[in-house]
Homo-oligomer: A and B are copies of this chain.
Amino acid sequence: MPLTTDAKGVYPIAPTPFFDDGRIDTASIDRLVDFYQSCGCTGITVLGQLGEAPKLTHVESVGIVAQVVRRARALPVVVGVSAPGFAAMRELSRDAMDRGAAGVMIAPPNTLRTDDQVAGYYRQAAEAIGADVPFVLQDYPLTFSVQITPAVVRRIVNENPSCVMLKHEDWPGLEKISTLREFERDGSMRHIAILCGNGGLFLDLEMGRGADGANTGYCFPDMLCDVVRLSSEGRRQEAHDLFDAHLPLLRYEQQPGAGLAARKYVLMRRGLLTSMAQRKPAAPLSARAREEVDLLLERLARHDPRARLRT
């Protein structure tokens, strides 16, 4: 079933599990997918930036898509297809959709500068992958150095019917959500789903601005699900209480580059990954950093029993 503008809830950015020797760990993939299902996730995004996508061959990438789609059954699977050229993007996109993906996600190459360049890029990308493939616009200036104003998001949405979701991770970005929702209200932009990334650092407040959920890989997706649910039910203080308890660890994990090691470490401690290995190039977790994560987990466990992990 294709991804639509009705998407909401939590789409975790799935890490790619490796064994210590670099081979893909398919058992951990299944465990992860089952876990996402069980804790209330409404979709899954694979081969994102933090899914170490550039370290995978095309064949490996397609294999992961096929496995996750199969295992996820009803859950829609979104596939990161960002690439330096449209040929590779089209190829991965087609192969992913053929395996049952619900849609793809496209980040802008970091050479784009002007509004016309950004809008033009998405027009050409949408044409390259085919008008029948729903896509997610990834807006992450912190990593990609490309700034997309609300007006340019509107232009992309209006020019490309197949754009169905915004992975919102502008920073700061709260006003952007409000502006986009205002565009919808004043009729100048059709409705799209807005799911928030940027490590979840502002999820508590983004929900109040009109976001539909989260699209990030924090090591406690179960917390993300709860916060989104509590917010939707209007239980705002409870949502904040839970979120705030996680914020020290979440902030730690959101460190550019260094955070993935912490994320995989916690997922390993949670019994979901066999190994915390990353393929090269990788920034490993120092002994000191591990102690810090352990401390943050321990402190978190006082508020959230899910953080009580065996050492």
Binding site for B on A (CB under 8 A): 53-58, 60, 83-88, 91, 110-111, 113-117, 120-121, 124, 127-128, 146-149, 151-152, 171-172, 174-175, 178, 201-202, 204-205, 208-209, 237, 240, 243-244, 247-248, 251-252, 255-259, 279-281, 286, 288-289, 292, 295, 299
Contacts of A201 in B (CB 8 A): 251
CB of A91 within 8 A of CB of B247, answer no
Contacts of A259 in B (CB 8 A): 172
Query: In the complex, what's the smallest C-beta–C-beta distance from A70 to chain B, in angstroms?
Result: 23
Q: Which of B113, B172, B255 contacts A256 (CB 8 A)?
A: B172
Chief secondary structure at chain A's binding surface: helix
CB of A281 within 8 A of CB of B244, answer no
In the assembled complex, 10 residue pairs joining A and B whose CB atoms fall closer than 8 Å, in A order, are A56-B85, A57-B87, A58-B58, A114-B149, A114-B152, A115-B116, A116-B149, A174-B292, A240-B248, A244-B244
CB of A175 within 8 A of CB of B286, answer yes
For A84, the closest partner residue in chain B by CB is B54
Contacts of A54 in B (CB 8 A): 83-88
CB of A292 within 8 A of CB of B87, answer no
Q: Which of B208, B243, B251, B286 contacts A292 (CB 8 A)?
A: B208
Contacts of A147 in B (CB 8 A): 113-114, 117
CB of A256 within 8 A of CB of B57, answer no
Query: In the complex, what's the smallest C-beta–C-beta distance from A259 to chain B, in angstroms?
Result: 7
Task: Known contacts A86-B280, A205-B292, A240-B299; decide if A247 and B256 are in contact (CB<8 Å).
Answer: no
Contacts of A127 in B (CB 8 A): 280
Contacts of A84 in B (CB 8 A): 54, 83-84
Contacts of A292 in B (CB 8 A): 174, 205, 208
CB of A121 within 8 A of CB of B281, answer yes
CB of B255 within 8 A of CB of A171, answer yes
CB of B111 within 8 A of CB of A87, answer no
CB of A172 within 8 A of CB of B114, answer no
Q: A57-B88, A114-B147, A115-B149 are in contact. List 6 more A-B contacts (CB 8 A).
A: A113-B113, A237-B299, A240-B295, A244-B244, A247-B247, A247-B248
**Measured CA separation A178–B204 after assembly (Å):** 32
